[in-house]
Structures are given as C-alpha cells and as structure tokens.
Amino acid sequence: MRRSLLKRFVARLMLLMLVACAQVTPYSRAAAQTRSVSPSRTTESFDKDWRFLKSDAKGAEGAGFDDSSWRGLDVPHDWSIEGPFDEKNPTGGAGGFLPAGVGWYRKHFTLPASASHRHVFIDFDGIMANSDVWINGFHLGHRPYGYVSFRYELTGHLNFGSDKQNVLAVRADNSGQPASRWYTGAGLYRHVRLVITDPVHIEHWSTFVTTPKVEVAEATVRVESTVVNQSDAPRNVSLQITLLDPDGRAIQNVSTKAQEIAAGKSVDFRQEIAVRSPKIWDIDHPYIYRAVTQVRAGRSTLDDETTTFGIREFHFDAATGFWLNGRNFKIKGVCLHHDASAFGAAVPLSAWERRLEALKQLGVNAIRTAHNPPSPEFLDLCDRMGFLVMDEMFDCWTVGKNPFDYHLYFREWSLVDLRDTVRRDRNHPSIIIYSAGNEIHDTQKAELAKEILTSLVAAFHESDPTRPVTQALFRPNVSHDYDNGLADLLDVVGQNYRENEILAAHQQKPSRKILGTENGHTREAWIALRDNPPYAGQFLWAGVDYLGESRQWPNVADNFGLLDRTDRRKPIAFQRESWWSAHPMVYITRRVAPTPLAPTDPGYGTAAQERRPQVLLSDWTPRERETHEENVEVYSNCEQVELFLNGKSLGAKQRPNDDSPRNWKVPFAPGTLKAVGMNNGQSVATYELRTAGKPAKILLTTERSSLAPVWDDVAFVEAVVVDENGVVVPSANDLISFKVTGPGAVVAVDSADNNSHEPFQATERRAYQGRCFAILKASAPSGRITLTATANGLTSNTITINSVATPASNGAQAR
C-alpha cells in the first residue's frame, strides 16, 4: 500500500514539475534567460556571450582559432542596422542603403559530464543569410534562406566536463547584393537555444495538435507526435498527454498504448481527447491551451514537450467569405515586413507587442508576414493578442527579382524550407492560411508555374492538411492565371490590388474562394471589400513604414504604412479606423499641396514631380499664418460630425454612405479647431487641434512604468517639442540629447524621418515634426531608471521607470 502511494506521489510530483515548466510567460519562448529544466529535457537559452567579427576570417570555424580580440555581445544581433547609411552600399535603396557582407559569431561553452550519454541539439530561429555552422571544427550544415528556423544535432562532436571547452562557430554571408526588395538585416538576428534530451525523445516539430470538433459543449483535441529512438536497443514507450486550460489547470491526463521502437527507428502516436465546455480561441478572446506530452517507459519519463494551441474552427466560403467559430466577418489585415526600424531585424518582443497593439486599436485583426516566415515568438504574440495570420513563404520561385535572390536556391531548398516552416508553425491558432508566394514572376511561364505551385500546395497539405493555401497573384489577367488553371490550384485565390479583377474572377467561377492578399489604402478598395460578401478580406500595403524599398537616396525607408516607423499613427490610419473600428472616433487633418521641389531636390523636373500626392497634416499650425483657406478633412464613424473654430460652429455633416471623409473649407485663424462626433444626438467622440507657438520645452512620455532586464523588454520614451502651452510644434527639428542614470541604458534612438541618416545606436536624435524617441533597456532587477532629455534653448525634462525582476503583463499578454 505504501509503495503504491509513493508511486502515485512521485508521478504527481513529476507532473506538477512539468506543469510548472510548461507555464508560458510573454517572453518565455523568445529567450529564457536561465535554463528551463524538466525531469527529462533541458532547454537553455544560448543568446548570451558570443564573440563577433564583421568581416571574413580564414580558419574561424576551428575550435583553436584565436577570437580574443573579437567584439563580445549577446544575440539576437543585427549588425547591418549599426550602419552606416551610405549611398554606395551594395544593398542599394532596396536594402535601405545599409551595409552587407560576412559576419562571424563564435561561442565558447562547457557541458557537464552527466550529459555525455544524452543527445544535444542546437536550435537557430533564423540566421541572415547563407549560414554555415560548425561545432568544434565539424561542419554541421548550410542554410541559404535567412528566414527559416532549423536544428542541428551536436551529439558525437562535443567535449564534456567543466574543464573542456566547446566552440560553436557561425558564418553568415549576405555579401551578394542586391538580394532583396526590402531590408533583411544581417547575422544571428533571432534567438538560439541548446536542447539536451534522452536518446529516446520526441522528434523535432513532430507534435501536431488539432481540434477536429469544436462545439460549445465539447471539443475534440487530437494530439499527434513522433518518438525517435536514437539508442542502440529497442525501447517500449507510451505517450502521456496532459492538457492545461488557459488558467494553467490540468483538465485531462491520458496515455496512449505502449509501442516498441526499434533502435534507430521512430514510431507515430495519436490520441484524441475530449474537452468539455472549452474556452474558444477568438480574436476577441484568444484563449490558449497547452498540451504537455511525456515519453514514458514504465515509471520513467524519458522526454517531455509543451505545445501551445487554441480550440477554434474556421473556414473560407465561396459565397460568404471568412468564418471563425460560426461568425462571419471581414479579414481586416495589414502586411508587415520583419524589421522594426531602430532594431533592424533583431526585434525585442515588447517592440512587436507595442506595434501590434497600435494596429489593433485601428481595427486591424490580421497580419500577413510579408514575404517570408516570421520569428516563432512573433506568432506566439499573435496567438495571445488575437490576430489572424497569413503565413507567407517566398517572394520568388525560380525567376528572381534581384541578382542574388532566393531563386538561386529555390530548386534545392524550397520544399525543405517549406516543410520545416509549416511543421514549426502549424500549432499556432492565429494562422488561418499559408501563402506560397508573392507576385511570382514564374507565372509568365504557365506550365512551369503550375508544376511548381502543385508541388508547393502538396507540401503544405502534407505537413498541415487543416489549413488552406493561397498565393498573392501578380497581374493574373496578364499571365492568364484565371484561364489557364493556375489560380484554381489554390484553396483560396489571392490577388494583389486590382479588386475589380478578383471580383470578376469570382463572378466567372462562383465556386472560387477569394481574398485580397495585398491592397491599397484607397476608399475604392475598401468599398470593394465592404460591399461584396464573397470577398473574404484584404491585407493593406502596409501596416507600418519599413526600412528599404527606397526609390532614391537620401530616402532609406518606404512610407506606405498606416503607422510610421516609430509606430505613431499617420492621418490615413485614422481614416482606416473610421472604416474598420466599431469604437466611436473622430479625427481632424489638413489636406495641403506638397512643398514644391527645389532644383537641387531628387526628382526635380521629372514626371515624378507631377505625381507627388497631396499631404495630410494633423496640426493647426500652417506655415502661412496670414489669412488663407484650409481644406479640413475629418474622419469619423459617427453618424454626425460638427466642426468648431474657436468655439464657433462651422456646421455639422452626416456620415456619407460611401464612407468618404467630411470636408470643410475653413478660413485660417489661430486658436482651436475642434470636431465633435455624435450618435443619436449625443456626443461620443471629440478631437481638437491647437495652433502652436515657438518651441519652449521638451515633454517625455512612455507607455511603460516598469522594465525588466531581459532582452525582449524595452521601453519607448517619446520626446516632444512643445510651446509654452504644451502644444506640439510640428516644425521643430531640435537635436535632443538623452542621458540615463540608474540601472538602464539608451539602446537606440529613432524618429519617423525616412530621409534621416543618423545612427540608431546613439544618445541623441534630431526631432522630426516635433518628435523623436529614446528606447531603454534595464540592466538590473531593481532600481529607478531616470532619463533626462535636453536641447539647446529648450527646457529639459525627466522621466522615471522602475526596474523590476520580471516583465509586466499588460492586457494583451495576460489574455
């Protein structure tokens, strides 16, 4: 009896330890700063203490190579973002005029003697680009595509014991340029982990959790996984699966039948589990479950793994568009590249969270990962915040868009990269569709394109039969994709822009499910989506301004975003909010003609000068202060908007049926311009602009009250130049200097100026339209971080952030 009780107690204790290891914090996957140790598996962040060289080095793969003079740093690290910007850099405007080349990373480490009988792996979330990896001089492999995650096994090439060093060496080479149409970054720009397992363990990325039945009363959760036996003897094992609900409580604990696995072989396991009264993952309530999977041999746990998932049902319908959990609504998406301005491609998770929260407030509910697989923690964040995701693979197939594009490797690597990415990503509830490519130029050769697309769609379905596949078709009427059968190889037909064409393609064949994979900000594009039920959704180009895709120096970034590079809303973002958000809002902007080009400006005297668009300005401080008339444009989803100038009504206007803005011609007078939005005769939203005086002082603001000393936690502090009354001075371009005291540092500075060549790794920045940012990190788990901003002729300002041990959970993280 005592032995039985003891056995049950030990089993329960091991389960509790696993549950504790399975708890997911906002930053747990991104980079655990210490080891994550379960009874059977060790996962250790390998981000710290690398040595780096920004050039090639003969023999640097060898364990005995002298790297003592190399720069010490932690990863993720994007060395290209450190600059400098230079018109002569080979990346050109597409790469934001930032540098490219070869970078080496080396890490020295030891392993305990107790690990000598176990299997050791290294996981890279992404290396940009053309990477080669060595362990103690042994070449592990080569991966050309910088956006994919991959694993190498180190077993058999390691030294064990506290006095025996190991050296992991990584060479990343993006010297062949141009190689992209946007900024890619360079180096070891995503997280790295060391994983130690038993010889009998769960195969990497083999666990697949699906929900084939989703009802209010009960859902079915299906768990599939593969166990591999790398020992020299057969083993008899089973899988024990514990489901944890969104609150972390164990709600089911089941075991599969035991199976024998021969030495060097693997066995697949599958188990269906009923969940009563499930909490459904939805964009408004993104509930996350966890499946803790243990490999059991009798009383022993040989390996374990935790997989997050959501219980939800979705589908596309040819007649009515997109459905999620029985609810039909429009996909209101944006396209995002993978950089975050001052951070380049090495983006802290809290920076992504800040960006996604700003988009969510506009009514955005979906993200297209343009045009490549994102980091795994980005998808975790989308899961937690309730975004839908189009997971895109490629920007080209066999026909490149640049001399050193992925087309050079497509035939050899595309199916490998695709399989790895789908197996990595398929448990994310946020992902609703895969994209096989963006604006693929192979479609000019119909038979070639159909052959390739057939193989890609089959590969997607082989690794994940639960999700549809689309492609962002490029001028399909020119390449006859709707007539030659290519479009109908897709589960959901996607097209970039030309909304009338995809609607006509649906009318031609009503069984087609259709989706806008890339669309402009125009009202006509929105109306095409709003008024056509079959049109499932759209993804705007773009959600946020991004580095690269510059047409001409000195510009270094693209400006098609709803948000600027610092994540501030542009005026067009408020127009989009008036269409996409249900929350009452009103916003004022001035529509003015662009400033004439000077003879020395790029584009002067060319056709581009005539095509320059009108400019939207959100201020009541025009350069011309004398009497003149302003074209005031108001965006609102309210039934009625009334405009006031210095308290005097300029009239009220009803909401147009075609969602066009409400415009007033207003003779300028300094003071306050105010808009009041009303529903049912009641004021529900207000917005006002005030005329600014001369620059007088700096104001500092931040969304963060605390900051933890982990790589993924950062605080954006905005410095604003204001007049004596606190009104932003839109013409201010003062050079603002930042100084920190306490346990923190300024890790980057930034502004929305897409023509600025100032370094991001600095402690001063020139204000652009009256604003710039300092970005802080903490260096200790307690204390007060104080930031002071100064500028000549302005009153300085100070702000304080508390340093804490662990990142604070805000609403998005806590869901």
Residues annotated as catalytic (active site), given as ranges: 439, 518
Query: Helices 499-508 and 523-530: crossing angle, nearest 10°?
Result: 20
Query: Helices 410-425 and 446-463: crossing angle, nearest 10°?
Result: 30
- Chain centroid, CA 229 distance in Å: 36
Q: Which of 727, 724, 718, 800 is nearest to 765 (CA)?
A: 718
> Element (H or E) spanning 572, and its range?
helix 571-580
10 Å CB burial of residue 701 (0-12, 13-18, 19+) is exposed
Are 385 and 353 in contact by the 8 Å Cβ rule? The answer is yes
| CB-based contacts of 293, cutoff 8 Å, min separation 6 | 202, 207, 223, 225, 239, 240, 241, 304, 305, 306, 307
Token pair in block for residue 50:
């690398």
Dihedral pair phi/psi, residue 796, rounded to 5°: -75, 170
Taking the CA atoms of residue 557, residue 382, residue 16 and residue 224 in that order, the dihedral angle to the nearest 10 degrees is -110
Q: What residue has token string 């655990």? A: 32
Dihedral angle sign, alpha carbons of residues 24, 26, 27, 30: positive
Token pair in block for residue 216:
């209010």
- Chain centroid, CA 63 distance in Å: 35
How far, in Å, CA of 815 to CA of 386, rounded? 9
The SS3 call for residue 236 is: strand
How far, in Å, CA of 651 to CA of 799, rounded? 42
- Chain centroid, CA 127 distance in Å: 16
Query: Helices 410-425 and 376-385: crossing angle, nearest 10°?
Result: 40
- Chain centroid, CA 548 distance in Å: 17
| CB-based contacts of 648, cutoff 8 Å, min separation 6 | none
Burial 544-559 (b: 16+ CB within 10 A, else e): bbbbbbbeebebbbbe
Are 754 and 556 in contact by the 8 Å Cβ rule? The answer is yes
Q: What residue has token string 């996604």? A: 356
- Chain centroid, CA 546 distance in Å: 12
Within 10 A of 180 (CB to CB), how many other CB atoms are there? 28
